[in-house]
Amino acid sequence: MSEHAPQRVGLIGWPVEHSVSPAMHNAAFQALGLDWWYTLLPTPPGEIASTLAQLRGQRYRGANVTVPHKEAVMAFLDEVESSARTIGAVNTVVVREGRLLGYNTDAPGFLAALQAAGFEPKGSRALVLGAGGAARAVVYALVQAGSTIVLYNRTPQRALELVHHAQGMGGSVTSIASLDSLEPELADFNLLVNATSVGMWPQGNVSPWPETLSLPSHWTVFDLVYNPAETRLLAQARAAGAPAIGGLEMLVQQGALAFELWTGQSPPLEVMRAAARESLARSQQAPVEPALRQDADVATP
């Protein structure tokens, strides 16, 4: 290995072929004159340990972690930062002196994107769709911000597990078995967050919100899916007159926090944002086999 080889970071997930994170981070490295390179580390289920072994090499400084590994990766790390341990999911790994340290930048990235859009979560009542790693980060962020949360997941047991976990954080969190059951209470909510992959490209005409159920105009709707940029759920929100937030800004914000953890330098946010948008625009123009669809297109790496 050349001593002048670039430092590396990567993206661990399955699959990862069409993430915009490489373009976003490599543009940031170039802007700051850093000899670093962001690469893809496709990791099938069951092969996390072997991929993490690569990170202990001298050239790797860390990695992002995306589905389906955000929860499973924790068992293979040397240390997990306290908030990531509380969340129960890791999306950023830092390599320090051969040790693998786990962090979660999804939660603060979500809050930063939400507040940048002008929504103050304190005192809000939120409906969160999903119960995976992204939903865990969203629920943690909203609990910390003082929101009351109702959780829906198509597998009720997964939702109940997250409810119990969140209640252990001191959060006011409950779950429901169906969205239709909420119809009499819709006016009591003011935030809807889609933390599932429903509506992700190439199935952008699908929404996690039933067409038969009204969507109140006073809600703020945040779809963590960033590809396509305009999801069916966001279109439903705009048609109802509700403020709509896409997932790309959360992707940028969580990525910026990971960048700082790896490099110790302040990230060039505008460079990252522009590169992410350009990469996303290119990916939407190119024909891709549906089999390559990835949950990384939720607003995580």
- The pLDDT of residue 294: 36
- The pLDDT of residue 296: 40
Q: CATH assignment of 7-104+250-297?
A: 3.40.50.10860
- Residue 24 contacts residue 275 (beta carbons within 8 Å): yes
Q: In angstroms, rounded to a whole number, what is the distance separating the alpha carbons of residues 296 and 24?
A: 14
- The pLDDT of residue 291: 34
Catalytic residue among 25, 61, 70, 232: 70
Identical fold for domains 7-104+250-297 and 107-248, yes or no, is yes
- The pLDDT of residue 292: 33
pLDDT, tens digit, for every residue of 253-297?
Answer: 999 999 999 999 999 999 999 999 999 998 876 554 443 333 344
| Strand partners for 60 | 8
- The pLDDT of residue 232: 96
- The pLDDT of residue 67: 83
User: Architecture of 107-248 per CATH?
Assistant: 3-Layer(aba) Sandwich (3.40)
Known active-site residue 70: yes
Q: In angstroms, rounded to a whole number, what is the distance separating the alpha carbons of residues 25 and 21?
A: 6
Flag whether the pTM goes above 0.95.
Answer: no
Q: In angstroms, rounded to a whole number, what is the distance separating the alpha carbons of residues 162 and 164?
A: 5
- The pLDDT of residue 170: 85
Nearest to 86 by CA among 158, 167, 153: 167
- The pLDDT of residue 52: 95
Residue position matching structure tokens 């949360």 = 149
Quote the Cα angle for 263-267-271, to 5°.
Answer: 130
pLDDT, tens digit, for every residue of 2-28?
Answer: 456 899 999 999 988 878 999 999 999
- The pLDDT of residue 126: 98
User: Which parts of the chain have pLDDT scores under 70?
Assistant: 1-4, 285-301
Per-residue burial over 191-229, b if 16 or more Cβ lie within 10 Å, else e, is bbbbbbbbbbbeebeebbbeeeeebbeebbbbbbbbbbb
Name the residue ranges covered by the structural domains of the chain: 7-104+250-297, 107-248
Q: Which residue type is seen at 237? A: A
